[in-house]
Structure 1
Amino acid sequence: MRADQILQPTHEGLYCIPGDFHIDPLRPVHRALITHGHGDHARAGHGSVLATAQTLDIMAIRYGEDFTASRQIADGPVRIGTTTVSFHPAGHILGSAQIAIQPDKGPKIVVSGDYCRRANPVCAPYEPVSCDVFVTEATFGLPVFRHPDPMQEMSRLLASMAEFPDRPHLIGAYALGKAQHVIALARRAGIDGPIAIHGALQRLCDYHQAQGIDLGPLIPATAADMPSQLVVAPPSAFSSPWVQRFRDPVIGFASGWMQVRARARQRGVELPLVISDHVDWPQVTQTIRQLNPSEVWITHGAEEGLMRWCALNGFAARPLRLVGYEEEPE
């Protein structure tokens, strides 16, 4: 059985034929396997959902306890149809996983979802999984994207806070994963006092703390006489009246896209912080070399750039041209 007889792109998303399930489907389906809790991968309304315990918890926080009719924790190999599936850490956000599909007959396929090779203090590290077919994202799949050490970016934040001690520093970071990542990095950089957070971050930060991830003291950004110079908020807050409560703030944004200066200017970002939870160009090419799969399938992002690299380096590759992902800020 060929790989394209096992896994195929459809309007709903990737569909496994011998298992009769979808991975990160874009529309409600009867059986969904979910790689992680970001809204462009995890949607409510499926008949059943198989995911890591943390991803299921996150989906319940975001969508309510009734986000699916049936849920199952992926805590080991699971038999579905004529396939065996297993979940392996992706290093992207808390609970994120790659999904390995081993049919009874045919090649082993690993769907990586969104993944990152750089150590992240708020989630388990990426685990290489040998396979015949590797399905990879290419969000930053161009040679120009080479993300710096995140602690280097934290040093820039601390330097700005020292230079402008009377100006609050508002850092835009996506509510799930990136916000907690930024807070944890700030702690490692030596910020021990209270960090203020937008209300939209509270429940997800509380969940990370409950999972044993120490984010230190957090206070509401709306607190009277707020004793914190550092404020973390979702990007949407910066286009709302909420931001007007702060006097002469330094506006920052934490994203791999901040390497593109035009994007920072468009957002009015004074302090761009290049902090990403995705693989950059060296990481994605390193991963392909390390796994040495027979085929590379590219789900979304800079497909053509990675396709070209694969061709030049002897890897058979194909673009899946899936749409509907990357809808949320990186």
Structure 2
Amino acid sequence: MRADALLYPAPEGLYCPEGGFYVDPVRPVERALVTHGHSDHARPGHVNVLATRQTLDIMRLRYGDGFCASEQAVGFNDELLVNGVKVSFHPAGHVLGSAQIAIEKNGTRIVVSGDYKRRSDPTCAAYEPVACDVFITEATFGLPVFHHPDPLDETGKLLASLRQFPERTHLVGAYALGKAQRVIRLLRDAGYGEPIYIHGAMEKLCDYYVGQGIDLGALLPATIESSDRSAFKGAVVIGPSSAFADRWARRFNEPLPAFASGWMMVRQRAKQLGVELPLVISDHCDWPELTETIRELHPAEVWVTHGREEALVRWCQLQGIKAKPLHLVGYEDEAD
């Protein structure tokens, strides 16, 4: 079966007409297969949703019980038929519950990566390569300039700053799903044993991670009940980047703004956000990891989506691999 007949871009998202479903649709549809819980991939309002148990739980936490009319949980590496199309979910290593989706019909297999990373991360199942004819890869950091440093080294920068500025509250910006929990775990694995304070927007998700067996250590709410700015002196406070621009952030003692993101490699981006301590910690692949993954899989074709598409397409072509950009819209790097 021709791959572009099995799966192709539509206004709603990637569409499989044989199976009657969409992958990570950006608007409500009858049947959605969802790779992970970030809001640019997992949206409310679908009639039927098929995803991992953890992704479904995360969607419920974020959107409420009515996020869809019906749901079906699928385990990693389990196979099922959706209107005659074989479908299976495989770990993507992006965030808790994140999956690649393999779609197969008449001897043709397409793997939709969703968002994925290859670095070690104890807060989610590690990426597993899945043999395929067509690999649909993200390209969030799909330029040769992006070589991400070791996350442990970046965590060391935060710990060094805490020692250098013990009087300042270190405010670490991190996305509520995945990045916040990973930063907390990196700190714990580096030996930081003090309580870590978290913004209210992160409490439910952190509680869920802990309930799934992810040890995050002592977490306390980052609430200031009085005008005593010294209450968080020398503490680590983690919150969404959006909270750093409002009055909440200004309550803390001499706040030192940090931000954990792959985009912190771009100095101008850090400067625009007012970040004093950029931490290059990404939940996506950098350029070497993208290219190494494609080499490892050695698919007949690569389709590139939501990111810096053209450079990766050109690299594939230079390697003798047929490639094309998909030009999908609506995916905004929520967990960079």
TM-score range (shorter-chain normalised) is over 0.9
Unaligned runs of 5+ in 1: none
Unaligned runs of 5+ in 2: 226-230
Structure 2 match to 1:123: 124
Q: Letter of the aligned partner of 2:84 in structure 1?
A: T
How many residues are paired up? 329
Deviations, residues 253-308 of structure 1 (Å, cap 9, x unaligned): 00000000000000010000000000100000000000000000001100011011
SS across alignment from 1:153: helix
Return the offset for 1:116: 0.2
SS across alignment from 1:185: helix
Alignment of 1:25-40 (within 5 A): 25-40=25-40
Alignment of 1:107-118 (within 5 A): 107-118=108-119
Alignment of 1:1-330 (within 5 A): 1-75=1-75, 76-103=78-105, 105-223=106-224, 225-226=231-232, 229-326=235-332, 328=334, 330=336
Return the offset for 1:81: 1.3
More displaced, 123-132 or 71-80?
71-80
CA contact under 8 A between 1:193 and 1:228: conserved in structure 2? no
SS across alignment from 1:251: strand
CA contact under 8 A between 2:165 and 2:234: conserved in structure 1? no
User: What TM-score, normalized by structure 2, do the two folds share?
Assistant: 0.96
Distance in 1 between the 2:160 and 2:234 partners? 16
Q: Letter of the aligned partner of 1:192 in structure 2?
A: G
Structure 1 match to 2:228: none
Return the offset for 1:328: 2.7
Return the offset for 1:106: 4.1
Q: Percent same amino acid at aligned positions?
A: 63
Q: Letter of the aligned partner of 2:309 in structure 1?
A: E
More displaced, 238-247 or 223-232?
223-232
Moved >6 Å (runs of 4+): none
User: What TM-score, normalized by structure 1, do the two folds share?
Assistant: 0.98
CA contact under 8 A between 1:197 and 1:219: conserved in structure 2? yes
Deviations, residues 108-162 of structure 1 (Å, cap 9, x unaligned): 0000000000111210000000000000000000111011110000110011110
Return the offset for 1:95: 0.2
Q: Letter of the aligned partner of 1:289 in structure 2?
A: R
Superposition RMSD on alpha carbons, in Å? 1.0
Q: Letter of the aligned partner of 2:113 in structure 1?
A: S
